[in-house]
Amino acid sequence: MSKAIPEPVTNLIEAFSRLPGIGPKTASRLTYYLLRTPDDITLQLADALRDLKAETRFCSVCYNITVDDPCAICSDAQRDAETIAVVEEPLDVLALERTGVYQGRYHVLHGAISPVNGIGPDELKIRELVQRVVQEHILEVIIATNPGLEGDATAMYIQRELTGKGVKLTRLARGLPVGSDIEYADSVTVTRALQGRSEM
């Protein structure tokens, strides 16, 4: 960057640019916006970022993001403990929860199998899923990975790993458009996908 721009400004622009979906222009706009805002807004953002890293962790059961371990969903005795919905990311948990239909528990993989990006089964929480199915005597696993090449490859791998473990495997119905992410789907679409899931 230009020497006319002070180093702290350049550093923040570069930090914003590393976030997904934020290019150099957006990063610059955000940085200059923060320079003009009152100090309390900037400090509140800094505190929120610090607290995000200091106070959150992954649930030791389902690997969702939580403050308390285990998370509120895993701790809820009212939830169906014999059904697990397997999702790629924590945002997918929010999408399913918004429907108000699903009352089971979750397992967050933290990604999908993607050889192009160097992500194999060992980089995901699949081994932990298999252990949960066996140890917790799970009756049904709903594979709720995103429709598309990577989500389908992940679903097929999980199916292979869980075959013969005495668990019913279902997959969300194709009410979700291929190539989209569950987190962006509206509640009606996700509800129909849950209700129309089929056995694998």
Q: Within the chain, which residues score under 70 in pLDDT?
A: 1-2, 175
pLDDT in tens, 51-68: 999 999 999 999 999 999
Give the CATH architecture of domain 65-199: 3-Layer(aba) Sandwich (3.40)
Q: Where are the domains of the chain?
A: 7-55, 65-199
Query: What confidence score (pLDDT) does residue 34 get?
Result: 95
pTM of the model: 0.80
Dihedral of alpha carbons 61, 62, 67, 73, sign: negative
Domain 7-55 matching CATH 1.10.8.420: the answer reads yes
Q: Would you say 87 and 106 are in contact if contact means Cβ atoms under 8 Å apart?
A: yes
Cα–Cα nearest to 104, from 90, 131, 86: 86
Cβ-based neighbour number of residue 21 at 10 Å: 5
- CA dist 41 and 177 (Å) reads 38
